Amino acid sequence: MKITVIGAGHVGATTAHILANKELANEIVLVDIVEGIPQGKALDMYEATPVERTDSRIIGTNGYDETKDSDLVIITAGLPRKPGMSRDDLLAKNTEIVKSVTEQVVSQSPNSILIVVSNPLDVMTYVAYKVSGFEKNRVMGMAGVLDSARFRTFISMELNVSVEDVSAFVLGGHGDSMVPLPRYSTVAGIPLPDLMDKETIDRLVQRTRDGGIEIVNYLKTGSAYYAPASSTVEMAEAIIKDKNRILPCAVWLEGEYGLKNVMVGVPVKLGKNGIEEIIQIELNPDEQKALKTSAGGVEVLIEKVNL
């Protein structure tokens, strides 16, 4: 198994580190345009492997020759969001970056599976999908896992229970219009509405929607990377180990959930072929309307990239 991580910033480097610590690949390639950064970080990680007792080989590079024949490619490259900057502000520049990255990835690893982490997430996943020409099961975006993890964290904090007992689903676009689903969120199998009132649920839903900017505002000069990296690796592990995990991911829809020709987060089964199946759950009218609204916001941005 060979995994390439494009972008050696906080998210990319942390993702590569977790992949190595879990020994999910024989070889991990870290790519970045800044000379010395991927080489230095990769060597530092490699030197940790004797302590961690893992045998993943980690190399850093500024080019793509070393990525040849990767099984899985994780794209984190792009400009980070800064205070006062909306995800939409990132659109033009990150489209250019992801388009270039995808072209080079495809030339070296035409049989790979792509996980996109770059923001704006849903649109960048669309860019990778269109530019790559891959089947839709081989291109997906990491967003729902992260948003669900944030929702689970806030539920755990509110109820003072273990995060291990909390399950949650967040659908839709990765942004202000995401759709957390309290009805499908449980604590030890108990539906969330049975454990807290609507006002509390609404507060946690809003905090989930604001989860990324809350961290941006604290950091001032950066954005979240620990939880995004862990979420990305959860997806990668499901694919590498053919686990058939049910996880919410950004995928290209062709009629599912009444949505067509849009990249948006829904639950899928992840296995060795990437997206093995799109799982369709029953939504009530309010949830369906919210998902349609969220998808509509993504559609507007997709039109702007004009691919």
Give the domains, in start order, of the chain with CATH numbers: 2-141 (3.40.50.720), 144-305 (3.90.110.10)
Q: How far apart are CA 138 and CA 140, in angstroms?
A: 7
Q: How confident is the model at residue 88 (pLDDT cuts 50, 70, 90)?
A: low
Q: Which residue out of 2, 41, 150, 174 is catalytically annotated?
A: 174
Instruction: Render pLDDT for 262-291 as a digit per residue (tens, 0 to 9).
Output: 999 999 999 999 999 999 999 999 999 999
- Is the pLDDT reported for residue 90 higher than 80? no
- Is the pLDDT reported for residue 193 higher than 80? yes
- Would you call 10 a catalytic residue per the annotation? no
Q: Average pLDDT for residues 100-114, to the nearest whole number?
A: 98
pLDDT for position 82: 63
Of 26-30, 91-95, 262-266, the one with minimum mean pLDDT is 91-95
- Is the pLDDT reported for residue 83 higher than 80? no
pTM of structure: 0.95
- The DSSP H or E segment spanning 247 is strand 245-254
Q: How confident is the model at residue 197 (pLDDT cuts 50, 70, 90)?
A: very high
Percent of the chain at pLDDT above 90? 90
Instruction: Render pLDDT for 31-47 as a digit per residue (tens, 0 to 9).
Output: 999 999 999 999 999 99
| Mean residue pLDDT across the chain | 95
CB atoms within 10 A of CB 26: 12
